[in-house]
């Protein structure tokens, strides 16, 4: 019991520090970018190229390329909404980003451990799922369920003037300073949600038996896929970490579809991410997002089970 508490406590401290560093770094980067990219320019580009399914495709493509975990996606999401990116595109980004759809680390791990067919299938299914899900959330009118989040000290509301003959550093320093104000204020708003989520994740990490899924998630169990999708959501495990674990579980007899559902559920809607999203999503949108990830994970899992012979033995 004491060993489990120590292990869970160490995990809590390690993940809290890791997420804080990621959150601050990405928030600062987004802050810097938005000082150089006026909202009007973003809106012009998206009005030209972001209509219809193409816009969702661009959102999922952009999200899938970035090496973000579920929690570090949130500052990027806020930044996108802040500069005028349409809700449906931002949602496709939000879904695709933590899944690592085109992240080379994720793709490489899938290829090494599960082969080319599984890798291509994962990329295709999750990418299409992110595009369709972002479009669907918008079609259901959920854009109105965003909270009116206002970051105190927002750098865009502070006009900065510098002399025409100013040096590069004199021109850049005010932008960096206002970007840090944006980062600090955003982090202070988000850190309670982050710590609550990580605390719950630490308990699960330390006290949920490791063999639970291997015992009940064999391919003959028709309920294994939705169960894995549901159990994946409370977890906080990066996709890159989950793939080797799933490979071991696969070797022990867990179905490939069950593992895909677990990966997508855990990466797409972990409790730390959901507790942070609760600060910018109203309850209806938060529930819809959870259901969306669950549906994408479950459909993907059953699809992989259906195609498992062709994928793994063909």
**pLDDT tens digits, 165-214:** 667 777 778 878 877 887 787 778 767 766 776 676 677 666 666 566 55
Helix axes 87-99, 116-139, angle to 10 degrees: 150
Q: How far apart (Å, rounded) are the C-alpha atoms in residues 208 and 220?
A: 23
- The per-residue pLDDT for 289 is 92
Calculate the alpha carbon distances from 82 to 90, 131, 155, 156, 232 in Å: 10, 21, 11, 10, 30
Give the pLDDT confidence score for residue 40 in this predicted structure. Answer: 56
Residue 29 has pLDDT above 70, yes or no: yes
Q: Look at 271-275, 283-287, 299-303 and tell me which has the smallest mean pLDDT.
A: 271-275
| Per-residue pLDDT reduced to its tens digit, 71-126 | 667 777 887 787 778 899 989 988 988 787 776 667 777 887 788 888 888 899 99
User: Residue 154: is its pLDDT beyond 50?
Assistant: no
Which residue, among 29, 35, 14, has the nearest Cα to 198 in the 3D structure? 14
Q: What integer pLDDT is reported at residue 133 of this predicted model?
A: 93
Does residue 28 surpass a pLDDT of 90? no
Least confident of 47-56, 82-91, 235-244: 235-244
Question: Looking at residue 237, what DSSP letter applies?
Answer: -
Residue 290 neighbours by CB under 8 Å, 6+ apart: 233, 269, 274
The whole-number average pLDDT for the span 236-259 is 73
**Which residue has better confidence, 86 or 222?**
86
Note the pLDDT of residue 230. Answer: 86
**Cα–Cα dist 136/180, whole Å:** 35
pLDDT at res. 46: 58
Question: Which residues fall within 8 angstroms of residue 209, CB to CB, at 6 or more apart?
Answer: none
What's the confidence (pLDDT) of residue 125?
Answer: 92
pLDDT band at 5 (very low <50, low <70, confident <90, very high): confident
pTM for this predicted structure:
0.68
**Chain mean pLDDT for the chain:** 76
Tally Cβ neighbours within 10 Å of residue 220. 7
pLDDT > 80? residue 58? yes
Residues 6+ apart with CB under 8 A from 153: 178, 181, 182, 184, 185
Task: Please tell me the least confidently modeled range out of 143-147, 188-192, 233-237, 276-280.
Answer: 233-237
Instruction: Give me the residue label for tokens 């006026």.
Output: 38
Residue 228 has what pLDDT? Answer: 84
- Which residue has 């970490």 as its token pair? 241
Give the pLDDT of residue 156: 44
21 versus 128: the higher-pLDDT residue is 128
């Amino acid at each position: 019991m004491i060993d489990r508490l120590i292990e869970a406590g160490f995990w809590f401290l390690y993940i809290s520090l890791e997420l804080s560093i990621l959150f601050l770094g990405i928030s600062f980067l987004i802050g810097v970018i938005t000082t150089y990219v006026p909202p009007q320019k973003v809106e012009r580009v998206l009005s030209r190229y972001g209509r219809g399914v193409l816009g969702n495709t661009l959102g999922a493509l952009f999200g899938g390329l970035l090496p973000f975990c579920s929690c570090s996606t949130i500052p990027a999401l806020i930044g996108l909404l802040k500069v005028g990116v349409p809700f449906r595109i931002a949602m496709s980004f939000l879904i695709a980003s933590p899944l690592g759809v085109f992240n080379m680390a994720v793709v490489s791990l899938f290829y090494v451990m599960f082969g080319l067919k599984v890798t291509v299938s994962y990329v295709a299914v999750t990418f299409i799922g992110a595009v369709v899900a972002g479009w669907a959330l918008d079609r259901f009118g959920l854009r109105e369920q965003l909270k009116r989040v206002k970051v105190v000290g927002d750098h865009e509301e502070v006009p900065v003037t510098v002399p025409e003959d100013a040096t590069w550093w004199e021109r850049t320093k005010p932008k960096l300073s206002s970007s840090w104000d944006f980062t600090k204020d955003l982090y202070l708003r988000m850190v309670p949600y982050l710590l609550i989520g990580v605390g719950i994740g630490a308990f699960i990490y330390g006290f949920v038996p490791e063999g639970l899924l291997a015992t009940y998630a064999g391919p003959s169990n028709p309920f294994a896929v939705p169960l894995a999708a549901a159990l994946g959501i409370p977890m906080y495990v990066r996709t890159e970490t989950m793939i080797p674990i799933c490979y071991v579980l696969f070797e022990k007899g867990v179905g490939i579809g069950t593992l895909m559902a677990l990966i997508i559920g855990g990466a797409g809607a972990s409790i730390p991410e959901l507790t942070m999203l609760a600060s910018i999503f109203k309850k209806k949108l938060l529930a819809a997002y959870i259901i969306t990830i669950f549906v994408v994970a479950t459909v993907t899992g059953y699809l992989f089970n259906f195609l498992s012979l062709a994928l793994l033995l063909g």
